[in-house]
A = this chain, B = another copy of it.
Amino acid sequence: MRISQLAERTDVPVHTLKYYLREGLLMPGVATSRTRAEYDEDHVRRVHLLRALVEHAGVGIDGARRVVAALEDPPGTRAELLGVAQRTVPATGGDAEVSDEVRELVADLGWTVEPDGPWMRSLTATVGAARAAGLHLEHRRLVEYAHAARDVAEVDLDLTEDAEDAAAAVRTVVLGTALLDPVLIALRRVAQEAVSRER
């Protein structure tokens, strides 16, 4: 398939595909002449991946580049899969000191984690920002959210166990980490409406 057909299949303008090619996000097609190249289903999937990452996950071009690199990299052990995935979509909110409350939270839950990892910092920052903005958020509520987050994480990890090989495992973890955030947010909104109607 030619670039114009790839554009049609994916509903992405040719110019944008050229941009992705230039940025190294989309692998070149097989050149059939100096001005022609042939693209296949792998390219279609890649373009869909890029659109999902940019449009829904909001990771930007840089983040997408890291995701693509992670997918093409030999994975390493299953234990460090998550590390790769989490580094691929880095935490936001700066590198503030982890608060005592957050430390206690994970301790009370019995979680064993890197105490000063980026997501512990991100958690501190987001909780602090929500409180500073005037949201009354009790520690008890946070614990309940954490329980729900743990349930989600269990499913996340289950997903990786089904993977047939290392490549599939990487894809599942990396994509699951980035692409399911918006799914979970949408589910939360729909669930809010359902619970609200029940009461």
Interface size on A, residues (CB 8 A): 83
Are A117 and B193 neighbours in the complex by a CB distance under 8 Å?
yes
CB neighbours (8 Å) of A92 from chain B are 55-56, 182
Are B189 and A91 neighbours in the complex by a CB distance under 8 Å?
yes
> Which one of A113, A135, A158, A175 has the greatest number of beta carbons of chain B within 10 Å?
A135
Are B145 and A155 neighbours in the complex by a CB distance under 8 Å?
yes
CA distance A48 to B132 in the complex (A): 6
Are A56 and B149 neighbours in the complex by a CB distance under 8 Å?
no
* Interface positions of A (Cβ within 8 A of B): 45, 48-49, 51-53, 55-56, 58, 79, 82, 86, 91-93, 106, 109, 111-114, 117, 119-120, 122-123, 125-127, 129-130, 132-137, 141-142, 144-159, 162, 168, 171-172, 175-177, 179-199
Are A179 and B119 neighbours in the complex by a CB distance under 8 Å?
no
CA distance A136 to B91 in the complex (A): 25
Are A133 and B187 neighbours in the complex by a CB distance under 8 Å?
no
Q: How far is the CB of A70 from chain B (nearest CB, A)?
A: 13
Are B48 and A134 neighbours in the complex by a CB distance under 8 Å?
yes
CB-nearest residue of chain B to A159: B141
CA distance A183 to B132 in the complex (A): 14
CA distance A177 to B45 in the complex (A): 33
Known: A135-B180, A153-B194. 10 other contacts (CB 8 A): A45-B133, A48-B132, A58-B58, A113-B197, A119-B193, A126-B182, A135-B176, A136-B159, A146-B191, A148-B152
